[in-house]
Chain A
Amino acid sequence: MKRMWRKYLTVFVLAGLSGGLLLQTSQSVQQAEDELRRLEIEVENERETIRVLHAEWAHLNRPDRLESLAGQYLELVPPDPSQMLIDPAAQLPNPFVPVMPSVKPSYLMNAQPVSTGSSPPLSVVKPKTKPSKPDESFNDLLDQVQNGGGE
């Protein structure tokens, strides 16, 4: 009788252990699956966001919009064929060499006038820190300067 009880006990313990293990395994599988699904949804959402951003990028870069913005904010116009070089390959600098020198040319550094007490100060055009009118165009500025000279 005692032996039989021990046998039952062993069987029950083993069954319990394996049940516990099974539960733990199924739990970890469940959790891994949840994590996977979460990540998949996240990826899908990111993809969707990228699609939206692509569309927005294309929309904001519409040629007509860029044209009107360029007209508004740049002092540049599309080149006329008469401004184009006959053989661009031969005459244009290599586009991969930086156009702007990294150090300011020396003549710019020396261009500051030296004030000598008695003589009237040289008329130095100081750059304004802020434009008086933000939407003032370069042409307006030129007009002002010309009118001032005529008076």
Chain B
Amino acid sequence: MILRRLRINSIKIAGERSFAIDQARGRLVLISAVFMLCYMVIAARVIDLTVIQGHLGHERTASLQDSHPSATAITRADVVDRNGVLLATTLKMASLYADPALITDAESTAKGLVKIFPSLSYGDTLQKLQSKKHFVWVQRNLTPHEQYAVLELGQPGLGFQRTDRRIYPQGELSSHLIGYTNVDNHGLAGIERSFDRFLGDGKPLTLTIDIRLQHALRREVQKAMSDFTAKAGVGVIMDVANGEVLAGVSLPDFDPHKAGAANSDAIFNRLSLGVYELGSMFKIFSTAALLETHGSPMSTTFDAREPLKAGRFTINDYHAQKRILTIPEVFMHSSNIGSALMGLEVGTKVLKDFYTDLGLLTPMEIEISEVGKPMVPDPWGDVSTMTASYGHGVATTPFQLTSAVSTIVNGGFFVKPKLILGADNDNKSDLRIVSPQTAESMRKLLRLVVSDGTGKNADVPGYSVGGKTGTAEKIGAKGYDRKRLISSFVGVFPMENPRYAVMVMVDEPKGNKESFGYATAGWVAAPAVARVVSSMGAILGIPVRAQNGVPEISASLKKYVRFEDE
């Protein structure tokens, strides 16, 4: 129209003005061409979006939303046991949120939600749905069934956000070692805490524990606890060569999925954080100190006829022999008097240094941050030396004790407890604490305790278990309480060439009919260790030792022992 009029005008107007009109026309043509191009592009794009890829549109927007969180965040890595069995993993779970502005009928929606999630209260839910916000969490971590039920409500104001959730397929089985995380997947305890950054970066971890042994150990510690109506229990299985913890149990334990709801007693890690006076098990270390530093022959005698006066204490024997005892006799009858005299002979400084070398007096190094500080007598005088020789006045963690025993029986090489597999291939140290001769003597002595001494109940025919009992009185309101005991046993097998150390500790056991009322280590912890060893043999397929013909490793010590019936 405009162009035509312009053309008509151009006919009328000629001459000097025609140039200006031409210019204006040219501009108008250009402008209309540009506009036409724009409309054409828009038209093409509309056709493109609606006709050509109209069918893709929905799918794309939906899937973009869906894939968003997984594309950006790295999932927290898995934790597996030494055989690759899954201990902790991260799964995506849907969490339900609501946009109250889009909720059409808040009351019926709230009713529907309460029906799906019985834990929600109707009032709270309704209040959330009627709020003025644009985003409120309704429920975290839905199961697929719940998610389906919510979708069936058909409420446009409800949506799902996929969030990561830490899952522990083995439940409470090793909750104290693996630990747990908070809602935001940050480790709060155990391996989850100490390797928080590492796991968060998506790097998986392999632990030294074997879930089968873990189960067997837990079962037996549980049984010992229920048989003797005890308060708590601890169990450790350690590879004596390198200190790898094959199993570690602290009971009562907790479900890591609901760590927040567990009480502090269940959360408490008795393996590495709890320090206990473990009693006569320390005779292993004081005897080793005597053999190592003085080279005393087995025939060395100690007068255990009379209770020993030490300051304000009187040292008595549980299994009193009331006679002069040789080293093997002191050890197998677990004579406190004999051990106290041994400690005096070793000397205060030497004994203290020896304990320190074994790692008993300083907080241990381990891959979890729950580490208890050992209780050490301060000042450490001669009386402390005497009591420390049979494990009183010194308190350590079960992990520390087991690794110190491992250090002595493995041939004398220092080991420390280890939870992560494969960092340095076999973790064998060449730091020698005791000589091979001392290690050999200690193996014989430990075997003697089980073959003829206080630990007879720990014997498993074919596996030549060696070990030491430890019964300690707990400290009550007025000094040591005779009724409240900590009964423990550390076993090592096979004694000819030790491979595994098994430690069981039971807190406040009460004697029962089978134990003739006794709640001491020989009746409570030793049988539990025997059952653990027996299960381990079956699980790991450990070959048994020929029982006829081959003399016991402890046989050579029998000549120093006077038996009752002789």
Contacts and interface: CB of A to CB of B under 8 A. Distances in A.
A61 B92 CA distance: 21
A41 B63 contact: yes
From B53, B169, B546, name the one whose CB has the most chain A CB atoms within 10 angstroms. Answer: B169
A44 B52 contact: no
B89 A85 contact: no
Q: How many of chain A's residues touch chain B, expressed as a range? A: 20 to 34
Interface stretch (A47-55, A96-104, A109-117, A134-142): A47-55
A23 B44 contact: yes
A75 interface: no
A1 to B, nearest CB: 17
A54 B64 CA distance: 26
Nearest to B92: A48
Interface residues on B, range: 35 or more
Interface in B60-102: 60, 63-64, 66-67, 70, 85-87, 89-92
Contacts of B63: 37-38, 41
Interface stretch (A3-11, A26-34, A120-128): A26-34
B546 A88 contact: no
A40 B67 contact: yes
Contacts of B67: 37, 40-41, 44
A34 B60 contact: yes
A63 interface: yes
Contact of B173 (A23, A34, A54, A62): A62
B114 interface: no
A51 B89 contact: yes
A78 interface: yes
Interface string B535-559: 1011001011110000000000000
Contacts of A37: 60, 63-64, 67
A67 B215 contact: yes
A56 B200 CA distance: 22
A93 interface: no
A62 B534 contact: no
Interface in B153-178: 167, 169-171, 173
A71 to B, nearest CB: 12
B169 A62 contact: yes
Nearest to B545: A86
A55 B543 contact: no
Contacts of B70: 44, 48
B53 A30 contact: yes
Nearest to B463: A81
B462 A84 contact: yes
Nearest to A60: B169
A85 B543 contact: yes
B60 A55 contact: no
B201 interface: no
A40, A52, A58, most chain B CB atoms within 10 A: A58
Nearest to B89: A55
Contacts of B44: 23
A80 B534 contact: yes
B59 interface: yes
Interface in B205-235: 211-212, 214-216, 219
A82 B461 contact: yes
Nearest to A64: B215
B171 A62 contact: yes
Contact of A88 (B167, B460, B543): B543
A34 B58 CA distance: 12
A88 B541 CA distance: 9
A82 B214 CA distance: 23
A64 B545 CA distance: 29
Contacts of A56: 169
B249 to A, nearest CB: 13
B53 A78 contact: no
A79 interface: yes
Contacts of B92: 48
A143 interface: no
B462 A82 contact: yes
B460 A81 contact: yes
B306 interface: no
A87 interface: yes
Contacts of B87: 58
Contacts of B261: none
Interface in B460-509: 460-463
Contacts of A62: 169-171, 173, 215
B14 interface: no
Contacts of A52: 91
Contacts of B216: 63
A63 B215 contact: yes
Contacts of A64: 173, 215, 219
Contacts of A81: 460-463, 534, 537-538, 544
Taking each of A37, A63, A67, which has the highest tally of chain B beta carbons within 10 Å of its own beta carbon? A63
B48 interface: yes
A59 interface: yes
B56 interface: yes
A34 B263 CA distance: 52
A34 B56 contact: yes
Nearest to B543: A88
A55 B59 contact: no
Nearest to B53: A30
Contacts of B215: 62-64, 67
Contacts of A88: 541, 543
The 4 closest A-B pairs by CB, nearest first: A63-B215, A58-B169, A58-B86, A59-B169
Interface of B: 44, 48, 52-53, 56, 59-60, 63-64, 66-67, 70, 85-87, 89-92, 167, 169-171, 173, 211-212, 214-216, 219, 460-463, 534-535, 537-538, 541, 543-546
19 contacts: A23-B48, A37-B63, A38-B63, A48-B70, A55-B86, A55-B169, A57-B86, A58-B85, A58-B87, A58-B170, A62-B169, A63-B212, A63-B214, A67-B215, A78-B538, A84-B537, A85-B544, A88-B541, A88-B543
Interface of A: 23, 27, 30-31, 34, 37-38, 40-41, 44, 48, 51-52, 54-59, 61-64, 67, 78-82, 84-88
